[in-house]
């Protein structure tokens, strides 16, 4: 957790049930897939918050995240998200 050890996480009222340690541990798992530290933290927070989608313009991040077999949030581009919502 070297990259994330100094990261400060402040949860709002809706995220009060989330464990900071669990989020940091999950983000650390994402680092092993080549995801950058802040991206890993954002992805872990989205997953822990039970978000349906993680929308990004970063094609490299999206490609790496989609290869994570147990990811609990759908990583999607803005254009794909619009198409998904309009279904």
Nearby residues of 44 by Cβ (< 8 Å), 6 or more positions away: 23, 24, 26, 27, 30
Per-residue confidence (pLDDT) for residue 65, from 0 to 100: 97
Cα–Cα distance, 55 to 78 (Å, whole number): 6
pTM metric for this prediction: 0.78
**Two tokens, residue 58:** 């970063």
Could you please report the per-residue DSSP string of 33-87?
Answer: TT--HHHHHHHHHHHHTT-SEEE-S-HHHHHHHHT-TT--SEEE-HHHHHHHHT-
> Residue 49 has what pLDDT?
87
pLDDT, averaged in runs of 10, over the chain (87 residues): 54 61 93 97 92 96 97 96 91
């Amino acid at each position: 957790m070297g990259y994330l050890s100094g990261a400060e996480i402040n949860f709002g009222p809706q995220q009060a049930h989330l464990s900071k340690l669990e989020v940091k541990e999950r983000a650390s798992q994402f680092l092993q897939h080549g995801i950058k530290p802040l991206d890993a933290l954002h992805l872990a927070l989205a997953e822990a918050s039970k978000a349906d989608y993680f929308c990004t313009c970063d094609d490299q991040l999206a490609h790496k995240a989609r290869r994570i077999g147990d990811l609990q949030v759908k990583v999607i581009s803005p254009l794909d998200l619009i198409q998904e919502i309009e279904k």
